[in-house]
Amino acid sequence: MTKSQFIATIAEKTDSSKKDVSSVLDAMAMLAYETVKKEGEVAIPGLGKLVKKHRPERMGRNPATGEQIKIAAKTVVKFRVAKAAKDAIL
């Protein structure tokens, strides 16, 4: 489902305009980004949780040559699916 299809479906189900739904969706995404950046995690009720996690430096292997290489430390964002979402889907 594309973003425009998603917006159109929500607008139809909530009897709202596509413009209003789009602005709410964009505001929700920006709020989630800012909160994860500042606090490290944000819960989206009914869907799951975005979590910022630090990965330490580690040793890896170059698949082409088999040579061991050092992989630098980095910060990643993970999404943990809520139990309610899992139960509804599975």
pLDDT of residue 24: 96
pLDDT of residue 56: 97
pLDDT of residue 84: 92
**pLDDT (tens digit per residue) in 1-53:** 999 999 999 999 999 999 999 999 999 999 999 999 999 999 999 999 999 99
How would DSSP label each residue in the chain? --HHHHHHHHHHHHT--HHHHHHHHHHHHHHHHHHHHHHSEEEETTTEEEEEEEEPPEEEE-TTT--EEEEPPEEEEEEEE-HHHHHHH-
pLDDT of residue 32: 94
With bands split at pLDDT 50, 70 and 90, how would you rate the model's confidence at 80? very high
Task: Determine the longest span between alpha carbons in the chain, in angstroms.
Answer: 59
CA separation for the pair 39, 65 (Å, rounded): 40
